[in-house]
Amino acid sequence: MAKDDDKRLAAEAAVAEVADGMLVGLGTGSTAAFAIAALGRRIAEGLRVEAVATSEATAAAARAVGVVVRDFSTIATLDLTIDGADEIDSRLFAIKGAGGAMLREKAVAAASRRMVVIADGSKRVAAIGAAKVPVEVLPFASASVVAALERLGAAVAVRAGYVTDNGNIIADCHFPAMPDPRALAARIAAIPGALGHGLFLDEVDAAYIAADGNVTRLERDGSSG
């Protein structure tokens, strides 16, 4: 089965959690796009929901399929957020941000009662760390932040020609090893001018992972389905 088919199946499984009247956070990226499409189909069938988008691209895609998109700056709490991941392991530790929206995605996730990740089977790993960790960087401090990330052991590449919706740049960091993701996250967060990073270690409550047409649900409490 094609990877896109698995992405669609995972997205549809997650969107099945959306109930009438919910306020839903929508992630950014190729897998999240399948969730937006699935949500649009449910709205066409009569579901009444509103959403918050984690990027301008997601907002436009959501509106295009009939989703009412609200301004997150006015929202304190969301019912559910659905988003993709670059890597996710059985601890529900994830690396996100290939789409460049991880700072907004983390803010939306933090405001959500539940965050669900959707992914095809290629994104499930024994332990996160092979994927690059993106860091959103204040342009004013770009050289000093890159140097600090390199001191943490990262091979750093500033994403060429890319500016986030917040007007910042992305430094993609490859770490040769990641034995303690929590310690690494804390050290990145402590760098002045590093505004956000793609290590999602506490935000994810569940994941729907589809492989070869079969969808598995992982819950933070250890249950699965």
Give residue 98's identity as a one-letter amino acid code: A
Contact 169, 158 (CB under 8 A): yes
Q: Is 105 known to be catalytic?
A: yes
Catalytic residue among 12, 105, 136, 203: 105
- Strand 68-70, strand 23-26: pairing: unpaired
Supply the residues annotated as catalytic.
105
